[in-house]
Chain A
Amino acid sequence: MWRATVKGLLGHKLRLALTVLAITIGVGFVAGSFVFTDTLGSVFDDLFSGTTVGIDVTIRPTIQTDTDFGFSLPEKIPRSVLDDVREVDGVEEATGSLFWFVQLLDKNGEITSTNGPPTFGASWADTDRPGAFSLRDGARPAADGQVALDRKTAERLGYVVGDTVPIIIFETPESFTLVGLAGFGEADNLGGAGFALFDVPTAQRVFRAGDTFDSIDIAATPGLAPETLVERLQPMLPDSVEAVTAQSVAEEQAAALKEGLGFFNTFLLVFAGIALFVGTFIIQNTFRIIVAQRTRELALFRALGATGRQVTGMVLTEAAIVGVVASGLGLLFGVALANVLAIGYEAFGGDLPEAALEVRLRTVVVALAVGVIVTLVSALLPARKAASVPPVAAMRDVEPTTRRSMRTRVIAGGLIAAFGIALGVIGLFVDWPFEWIDSIALVGAGAAVVFISVAVISPVFTRPAARIIGAPFPRLLALPGTLARENSMRKPRRTAATAAALMIGLALVSLATILAASFRGTVRQVIDESFRADLVVNGVGFGGIGFSSSIADQIDALPEIDRLARTRFGQASIEGGPAFVSAVQIDTFLDLFSIDLIAGGFEELPSPSVALRTSRAEELGVAVGETVTMNFARTGEMQLPVAAIWDGQGIQGSVLVSIETFEANFVEQLDSQVLIALRDDVSIVSGRAAVESVTNAYPNVQIQDQADFKAQTESQINLILSLIFVMLLLSVLIALLGITNTLSLSIIERTREIGLLRAVGMSRKQVRRMIRWESVIISVFGAVLGILLGILFGWAVVKALSEQGLLFVLPGGQLIGALFAAGVAGIVAAVLPAWRASRLNVLDAIAYE
């Protein structure tokens, strides 16, 4: 039986080629993702452990506000602590260090790094110990006015040792002389982020740190374990700082980066999963067709004494072999893919030291397992069906009798669909309490089940759908058109199964399109409603850092300005949970921001008090006049009364304080936005020119009007969307392969028929046309199903997010475009099968036995 299986496999290996391709692509993405993230993870591990060479213990501030994003930097460590630490027995050497963010200007005076990782600024201590930074060229900065840059950034911007580099830390740019190029451990920069290094006194000056530090690095006396030193140090430190081993710091930092990698990994795996899911439809279809075509052969085995189970085993073994081969190829493809990703990473500014790609055993096992299991599961049903071939079919043509009634199909499909919808609804709308699977996974599972249910039901309406879609064909395309339509209606299950793969791809594409349009539409509407200002000044570059508050002061002095409102953002915690705090100017913000006052009033806000968004007030269960507990990085715990409750799109976050309160409780005092209302008699153009006269001196800010604002937000959405689309295109591609596959197989079945048509005078061109338009019907059918499903999913997701203010926008034009594209794709998918059909030797076809 084994030999028969293998020979059978080799006999129709071409038929399985496309199936193999589908699995290879899916497995390839799984493997590639793991290889890439494993490699990068190791690089980060090495990087960070390299940075702690020579440092055993670090002292850092303890107050770490609960932040999910953003940088709220805690209080700095005073010089006194450093002096005290140096006296402790076991401390060989202690140096203070600082870090902040800086923005470099390139040789044209423009800000670098608009999207992407930021540039760090740090001090480089004057010691002989190895540390985080290593000198690659030139010398360390040793005096004020000197800077060292990471080599990668310097190369990118074209700076060499000796050049003058303008750097912005807070206000206007300051010029430094580039004295050296540095690296971070083995790498030339830190995971894509560059850094600028100063000596300690200079760092203190430019970071406005007075005589304080952000951390203290300690080398222990040789032989002393770091943990012991930590225990020795901790009691003598004030409450605001803590001592930790440098090892644990390195691990924390690496873990933070790896968490980001984890998301990327999940992202890729999701798309690999989609590709494989689509693949299962193709595999199942392929095996079903192959089994049908080999009825005679399988019947022969049965007639000669093989049991049904042996026949099933034969088919499954074939599937397993296909799975193994495809997974092996997928592994290779995955390694190649990881290489591509690495190149992409470097192109985006990252630096990968010469490291071999890491292919762990886990990756190999997972890749093989995934490929084989997917193939086996998909081939299961057709394999079972193979067992039911009666032996007598070896001698005469037996009509396949299993015509499961349509009603059973609808009922079964309906039940499955209900289950899937239930999963999705729970995932979207219900607070899911369990840990072991999260809401998003539920929604995904629900969607997958719904897909399956539609695939089960769709044969029921394949015939009417094909008739409608193909309605113009007889008239427009004459006989080939009629035959194309008839052929697509011939085997509804096969047509439906083939179309199902494309349905999934298009459903996801439609979903993404609808979500994007909804986001865009919502954003536009929000901006329209809430954008009352004429101009907005925003920070450029790694957002959220802010810019000097003197900019707003200067703008306020301009004659063209009627009024302005500045805001600052910061992170704190409220009642134990994270809070995004906005600070506003009481006198002007109501004019320029669109806020609905629900209860209380804003006049008392500076007293100090807070104003809460309705949703937050409800969540905390407080009303105007009651008190909430907030925790600020700078001042710690504060009890503040609630002065007002508000709602509206104009302000981010859910907690408002006055600028005065903000100044009292936050370390960083940078404006993050300035909204400007021009005087009535001033045009936007001249107003903008006036404001530019102020902002030109500050390369890290930009001016936007309403149109600019919309365009910028839209372009960000578009960027993310393009990424997602590229991934989804993968599934669509696999689906198209499925169509090509099915067509090829069915042409083999119809060899005699095609031969007959050629014999009675159908030209090759007409044969191609027939195949081509059959493919179009299949793909349009799949696309229609997919788009309808996509609209359903899109509506559900938007509904779930409608609390956040998301509106439902249906981009009809784009969806119709997708439908049209599917039709074109159908034509493309048919090119190869149609060509082969037209080249059938008529004689062989007629004499075909």
Chain B
Amino acid sequence: MPRSGVAARAAGAVKVYGEGDAQVRALNGIDVEFGSREFTAIMGPSGSGKSTLLHCLAGLDALTDGRVYIGDTDLGSLDDNQLTRLRRDNVGFVFQAYNLVPTLNAMENITLPMDIAGRKPDQDWVDRIVDTIGIRDRLHHRPAELSGGEQQRVAAARALAGRPDIIFADEPSGNLDSTSGAELLGFMQEAVKQLGQTIVMVTHDPAAAGYADRVVFLADGVVVGEMLEPTRERILDHIKLLEA
């Protein structure tokens, strides 16, 4: 059960690609809720529709049928400009790779969404994030001068800096070695616990999902299961069960 409030939800979400014989039903009727101040992981094999669900939740793609909400806003009712503004002001993103603008340094990348909006960042908040994530001494470096782990942490800082309603992460630790990955996921957990953020993460890695408060399991475009207080071992067991 979600702890307090619903940050985002999907109701009867259907997403179809292609036509006729070549049709692919990436999402086949999904109902799911994501609670505020929670760290939720979405897991599933490739082709399960997890990335598609994330994209639709984030306003990057449009559903074929059904609805998707961020807070109380029905994303289907927004036009492109409104969706863009939503992404700018209310949503944070961390991708697997290519998160940063190469010509800006770390600090400028962190304040990117606010610069786009032309708003001044809340300096105290940004300082707090920077220190929590631990990249203060790298702030004036450009992405080319940062390691993979540092880049992802900068990306995470950017996602947090705007105090969004929800943060979507697509395999954030996928390209990292286990140490950096663990570091990153730890910070994300901190962000939820200490800073009251909401994170929805897509991952195929049970270890990564173990950092979440809740795991939603997807297969063939539908929700097939759920787990609270996940650990890596329990997740592995559950997967074996699903595959049976």
Chain A interface residues (CB < 8 Å from chain B): 478-479, 482-483, 486-487, 489-490, 752-753, 756-764, 766, 842-843, 846
Contact = CB atoms under 8 A, between A and B. Distances in A.
Contact of A764 (B80, B88, B112): B80
Contact of B87 (A489, A759, A766): A759
Given A478-B118, A479-B116, A483-B103, A760 B95 contact: no
A761 B101 contact: no
Contacts of A843: 55, 60-61
A757 B101 contact: yes
B74 interface: no
B81 interface: yes
B115 A478 contact: yes
A756 B81 contact: no
B104 interface: yes
A846 B103 contact: no
Interface string B84-95: 111111010101
B103 A490 contact: yes
Given A842-B60, A843-B60, A843-B61, A758 B101 contact: no
Given A843-B55, A846-B95, A759 B101 contact: no
A766 B60 contact: no
22 contacts: A479-B116, A483-B101, A490-B102, A753-B98, A756-B95, A756-B98, A756-B100, A759-B58, A759-B95, A760-B93, A760-B113, A760-B116, A760-B158, A761-B86, A761-B87, A761-B88, A761-B116, A761-B117, A763-B81, A764-B80, A764-B81, A764-B84
A758 B84 contact: yes
A675 to B, nearest CB: 69
B191 to A, nearest CB: 17
Interface of B: 55, 58, 60-61, 80-81, 84-89, 91, 93, 95, 98-104, 112-113, 115-118, 158
A769 to B, nearest CB: 11
A483 B100 CA distance: 13
Given A478-B115, A766-B116, A487 B103 contact: yes
A762 B55 CA distance: 17
Contacts of A760: 87-88, 93, 112-113, 116, 158
Contacts of A756: 95, 98-101
Nearest to A761: B88
A753 B93 contact: no
Which 6 pairs across A and B sit closest by C-beta, in order of nearness?
A761-B88, A486-B103, A479-B115, A761-B87, A752-B98, A760-B113
A486 B61 CA distance: 30
A18 B158 CA distance: 39
Contacts of B58: 759
Contacts of B81: 763-764
A494 to B, nearest CB: 14
B113 A761 contact: yes
Nearest to A847: B51
A761 B84 contact: yes
Given A756-B98, A761-B89, 12 more contacts: A483-B101, A487-B103, A753-B102, A757-B112, A760-B87, A760-B113, A761-B84, A762-B84, A762-B88, A762-B116, A764-B81, A846-B95
A753 B58 CA distance: 18
A756 B100 CA distance: 8
A620 to B, nearest CB: 69
A843 B100 CA distance: 16
A757 B99 CA distance: 9
Contacts of A846: 60, 95, 98
A478 B114 CA distance: 11
Contacts of A489: 103
Contacts of A479: 112, 115-116, 118
Contacts of B86: 761
Contacts of B93: 759-760
Q: Pick from A487, A758, A764, A846 the residue with the most CB of B within 10 Å.
A: A846
A479 B115 CA distance: 6
Nearest to B81: A763
A763 B115 contact: no
A494 B102 CA distance: 17
Contacts of B60: 759, 842-843, 846
Contacts of B103: 483, 486-487, 489-490
B202 to A, nearest CB: 13
A304 to B, nearest CB: 27
Contacts of A758: 84
A419 B236 CA distance: 74
Nearest to B95: A846
Contacts of A761: 84-89, 91, 113, 116-117
Contacts of A483: 101, 103-104
A482 B80 CA distance: 24
Q: Pick from A483, A761, A764 the residue with the most CB of B within 10 Å.
A: A761
A489 B113 CA distance: 22
A478 B119 CA distance: 10
A292 to B, nearest CB: 15
A490 B91 CA distance: 29
A62 B59 CA distance: 93
A757 B100 CA distance: 9
B94 to A, nearest CB: 11
Contacts of B87: 759-761
B79 to A, nearest CB: 11
B158 to A, nearest CB: 8
Nearest to A842: B60
A766 B112 CA distance: 13
B113 to A, nearest CB: 5
A305 B88 CA distance: 48
B77 to A, nearest CB: 18
B128 to A, nearest CB: 21
A832 B31 CA distance: 42
A842 B118 CA distance: 21
A766 B81 CA distance: 11
A842 B102 CA distance: 18
A620 B99 CA distance: 80
Nearest to B112: A760
Contacts of B112: 479, 757, 760
